[in-house]
């Protein structure tokens, strides 16, 4: 698991509009909140994305960009975003490359079969590319407000 004080693993990933997003592009320019969620269609994930979306202007005022990451593809992200009015850039990590780098996958037994599942987690990365907060297994409700409070302390 990643710990505060470690260098954030670099990644490049496409968003819902198939634009390439690179963490390195934000170094020296903005703080980054990288939150991982299970899937676009889950009610708790919808709630979390809406809460972050509602606070996007507050994060932007603190020089902070928001990225939601799941293993859904670009088309799923685009439909989810458009249907629910989400204004966060959603990153498609279909092959779980970013999930592995941030150590958020865990084994889960579903119908007697062990599968890798994303652990709802959030990383607050400062402008120097250092993980300032690593929050694992978080609750969706109220989480965006909690993260905003932590970003205000940077």
Query: Catalytic residue positions?
Result: 45
Tokens of 76: 């799923």
Cα 9 to Cα 17, 68, 96, 129, 134: the distances in Å are 23, 16, 14, 9, 12
| CA separation for the pair 121, 141 (Å, rounded) | 13
Contact 120, 137 (CB under 8 A): yes
Nearest to 13 by CA among 98, 140, 115: 98
Strand partners, 105: 118
> Which residue do the tokens 């458009």 mark?
82
């Amino acid at each position: 698991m990643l710990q505060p004080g470690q260098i954030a693993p670099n990644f490049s990933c496409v968003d819902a509009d198939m634009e390439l997003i690179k963490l390195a592009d934000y170094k020296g320019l903005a703080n980054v909140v990288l939150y991982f969620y299970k899937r676009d269609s889950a009610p708790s994930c919808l709630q979390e994305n809406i809460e972050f979306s509602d606070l996007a202007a507050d994060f932007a005022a603190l020089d902070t960009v928001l990225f939601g990451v799941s293993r859904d593809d670009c088309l799923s992200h685009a439909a989810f975003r458009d249907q629910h009015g989400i204004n966060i850039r959603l990153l498609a990590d279909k092959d779980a490359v970013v999930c592995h780098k941030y150590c958020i996958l865990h084994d889960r037994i579903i119908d007697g079969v062990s599968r890798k599942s994303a652990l709802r987690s959030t990383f607050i990365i400062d402008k120097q590319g250092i993980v300032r907060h690593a929050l694992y297994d978080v609750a969706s409700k109220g989480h965006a407000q909690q993260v905003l409070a932590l970003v205000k302390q940077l």
